[in-house]
Copies of this chain bind each other. A is one copy, B any other.
Amino acid sequence: MEDLNPPATLGEIGLQRFAPYLMNRIMGRYNDSIQKTLAEGGLTTAKLRTLAVLTSHNGLMINELGVYCVIEQSTMSRTLAAMMDDGLVRREEDENDSRARRIYITEQGRAVFDQFWPAMGAASEGMFEGIDEGERETFVTTLQKILGNVRQNPF
């Protein structure tokens, strides 16, 4: 029975070595700092995430967009409706399925995202201060593996 390895308790692991705790703290700060910039510019977190995701994955379906943005479908639909009214995104019929709709960022949407990107980019850069390129790349590679482990969608 020697190889029986009972799971460690949180007290044994220690909060400072518990990855979900560290990530929640980090993302709490990141999202707070973004939120401050957003409030000044009259955008919501959901809208900014939508613009950010469409910047690199233009033409997603609404449900895909919700996964990428980590926003639940009802909020996602409301957000997109408001963004279409504001001319930040547009909806188009899918080429192969006339019942499906794809979402595209507009030129105006890109212009708005470009205004907010410096704050997002700076918040991200600020995380890695004093962390060299190699460690940063290793970190991102591990994050990609973790996302591969936990995601319920194929993307």
Contact = CB atoms under 8 A, between A and B. Distances in A.
A59 to B, nearest CB: 14
Interface in A84-141: 113, 117-118, 120-131, 135-136, 138-140
A76 to B, nearest CB: 13
Q: In the assembly, how many copies of this chain are there?
A: 2
Nearest to A142: B139
Contact of A146 (B11, B120, B131): B131
A9 to B, nearest CB: 6
Interface residues of A, number: 61
**Which of A24, A55, A136, A151 has the most chain B CB atoms closer than 10 A to its own CB?**
A24
A10 B131 contact: no
Contact of A19 (B18, B55, B124): B124
Contact of A56 (B11, B120, B127, B130): B11
Interface of A is mostly: helix
Interface string A29-49: 111010000000000000000
A149 B128 contact: yes
Interface of A: 7-11, 14-31, 33, 52-53, 55-57, 68, 70, 113, 117-118, 120-131, 135-136, 138-140, 142-147, 149-152
25 contacts: A7-B121, A9-B55, A10-B55, A10-B121, A11-B56, A14-B56, A15-B52, A15-B57, A16-B144, A19-B139, A22-B143, A22-B146, A22-B147, A23-B27, A23-B143, A24-B31, A25-B70, A29-B152, A128-B146, A129-B149, A130-B149, A131-B145, A131-B146, A131-B149, A135-B142
